[in-house]
Amino acid sequence: MIIVKIVELKAGQGKVTLEAEIVKMGETREFQKFGKSGRVATVVIKDDSGEIDLSIWNEDIDKVQEGSKIQIENGYVGEFRGKPQLTAGKFGKLIVL
């Protein structure tokens, strides 16, 4: 497993593993999709190379707070409003270190 730095991330990149700290928690939003409800929050994470927005979903939101050190395994870098945005997505996971 290769741990990458935030500065190396590019939109469209998959199978991303990185370690970072949550520096800002955004608001949790609730949504309905395919008849199911869910929650999503956007947080800002940083490492020694930079910062990126991270989308966290459902029960992962309750595991973290500002200052939490996390690892994302098998994450995906998408793009939102022209900026790269990381998510653990369906196939990845968020681990609190």
Q: Does residue 91 fall inside a structural domain?
A: yes
Is residue 76 scored above 90 in pLDDT? yes
Q: Does residue 40 fall inside a structural domain?
A: yes
CATH of the domain at 80: 2.40.50.140
Confidence of residue 90 (pLDDT cuts 50, 70, 90): confident
Q: Does residue 76 fall inside a structural domain?
A: yes
Angstrom distance (rounded) from CA 20 to CA 23: 9
User: Domain residues for 76?
Assistant: 6-96
How many degrees, rounded to 5, is the angle at CA 80 between CA 14 and CA 18?
A: 35
pTM, to two decimals? 0.92
The count of domains in the chain is 1
Q: Does residue 17 fall inside a structural domain?
A: yes
Q: Does residue 92 fall inside a structural domain?
A: yes
Q: Does residue 64 fall inside a structural domain?
A: yes
Q: Which pLDDT belongs to residue 89?
A: 82
63: left (phi over 0), alpha (psi -120 to 50) or beta: alpha
Q: Does residue 1 fall inside a structural domain?
A: no
